Amino acid sequence: MKVLVASALILVGSCSTLRHSEKIENLKDSISYDDKKIVEKYLNTINSEELKTHVEEISSEKYNGRMTGEKGHNEVCDYIRNYYKSQNIKAPESHPDYYQKVPKEVLPEGLNESQNVIAYIEGSEFPDEYIYIAAHSDHEGIIDGEIYPGADDNGSGTAAVFEMAEAFKKASEDGYNPKRSIVFLHVTAEEVGLHGSRYYTNNPVFPIENTISTLNIDMIGRVDERHKDDENYIYVIGSDRMSTELHFIVQEANSNFTSLNLDYKYNDDSDPNRYFYRSDHYNFAQKDIPVIFFFNGEHEDYTKPTDTADKINYQLLAKRTKLIFATAWYLANSPDRLNPEII
Ligand SMILES: [Zn+2]
């Protein structure tokens, strides 16, 4: 009896004094892709040619720079919705036309009503748990008579979401339906103040408390000055702020599939650019949802009429898209729900 008590005490003692570094190592060890070959198969359907076709379409002059509430942006939302219809990826039951109207009352004065576009693949085991892959669809419109095409901002992110949706759909058709539901969310009114994502998180189509994580993409097709000598990188922002596990999942995805240099420069909260607060993931973070923001940094054509499709590095865009796909795959298919805890 005494011996048992004594060993129980020792056990309790050793658990509570488990060093932080050991906890981190245990967490890292618990994350692995047991289905690596399968992930690779669908990840390899993501290709630079299809990404190029979509970026060229989205940034084409006919959409007049996609200003929120304007005809050009409404037309590009139709293009987005038609893409999901063509892939047989369904709309939420509550929004069967894929559109969530964003009323003009919540938008800056002078703008017309707009819409978020929502499509999803229902999970096979945990259909009520949701992974979001998000990108804003709007841009700056026409300024001083010049069209702002926004090929990188955010044609690149929009095209990336399309390619991931297609890859998940193909996997589903082959019998590898994601265990959790995956929502493809194209929010409006980012450029005028993150309004589409704010409206969505205040009026979620799926229960917000069942949101596992949101992966937001805003500009991933170009290279910034800091990396001009080695383009094999992506900035990862926010991954460690609400879930230590999420931070290591993206690293595991990267070491298994993409070998990009993950640059955490802008994850530093003292960084004056404050990018964590400047794109749509922030509104999800405000609801305590673990988020990651994927970003290529600013470049000479950022928010200029010269952000055109011919300047996108499509091979790099494909590689970065694969990283996000592999991360989403893990979140959707891991046996346990992501642990929203900081260790
Ligand atoms: Zn943007």
What is the per-residue pLDDT for 18? 82
Give the pLDDT band (50/70/90) at residue 14. Answer: low
How far, in Å, from the CA of 263 to the mean position of ligand 1?
A: 19
Q: pLDDT (tens digit, 9 = 90+) per residue, 220-243? A: 999 999 999 999 999 999 999 999
Q: How far is the C-alpha of 8 from the C-alpha of 20, rounded, in Å?
A: 22
| Residue 267 to residues 4, 241, 294, Cα–Cα distance (Å) | 48, 9, 11
How far, in Å, from the CA of 228 to the mean position of ligand 1?
A: 21
How far, in Å, from the CA of 139 to the mean position of ligand 1?
A: 7
Among candidates 204, 114, 218, which has minimal Cα distance to 161? 218
Domains of the chain as residue ranges with CATH:
26-333 (3.40.630.10)
By percentage, how much of the chain surpasses pLDDT 90?
Answer: 95
What is the per-residue pLDDT for 8? 46
For residue 10, pLDDT beyond 70:
no
Give the pLDDT band (50/70/90) at residue 1. Answer: very low
- Sequence-separated (6 or more) residues with CB below 8 Å from residue 39: 33, 256, 257, 326, 329
Give the pLDDT band (50/70/90) at residue 6. Answer: very low
How far, in Å, from the CA of 247 to the mean position of ligand 1?
A: 23
How far, in Å, from the CA of 151 to the mean position of ligand 1?
A: 10
How far, in Å, from the CA of 219 to the mean position of ligand 1?
A: 6
- Sequence-separated (6 or more) residues with CB below 8 Å from residue 166: 45, 50, 87
Q: How far is the C-alpha of 123 from the C-alpha of 325, rounded, in Å?
A: 16
What is the per-residue pLDDT for 235? 98
How far, in Å, from the CA of 34 to the mean position of ligand 1?
A: 35
- Sequence-separated (6 or more) residues with CB below 8 Å from residue 238: 267, 276, 281, 285, 291, 292, 293
